[in-house]
Structure 1
Amino acid sequence: FFQVVYRGGTLCLEEPLEDIDTLTIASVKARLRDEIGVPKSRQRLFFAGQQLEDGNTLEDYGFSCDRDILYLEIVSESDEAKTEDTESKVSSDSSWYSD
């Protein structure tokens, strides 16, 4: 198992030890959604001071379940909308630097 700490408490997620290295951040978020009912889009996971990206694995970040803890930030729905709006503006305005 490994621990996830968030404002509401601490959650221990059980995962076979051999699967920990290949467990993606998106998979962890899906497990958290099932456990605490927070949509994946509102979850931000942090480890060692950096936000974890969905496509990466715990191993990519050097995470060890026997000594490390993940930190979960739950963003409000309004913050989620702001983030999505900013991301869409960046992607639609990116043509200015194209060749």
Structure 2
Amino acid sequence: EIPLYTLLLGALFLCGAAAARPFLYVLGRRIFKDRVRALDQRRVRRQSYEVGLLLAALAALAGLRAFTWVSVLLLSLAFAIAELLFLAHFQAEPNV
């Protein structure tokens, strides 16, 4: 039973990250005015992995029967704060 849940969570992580990546790229191009930050592929990859991890964590909570709106909001808030700290700390490097 555990390997099946592990495969499911891994698949949700990868599919969620792959599905979110183009949307995050377009959203980043529209939001960031600075060309270097708008075209930063590492930021897009990191954010897409965060979306995939959020989906996998929500599925794990649902599997543990602990899926409530409060847990969804707290988990989303934790990921949003982590991303804001990443954006504030790291400097984007120009793509060559």
State TM-score, norm by structure 2: 0.34
Larger helix percent: 2
Larger strand percent: 1
State TM-score, norm by structure 1: 0.33
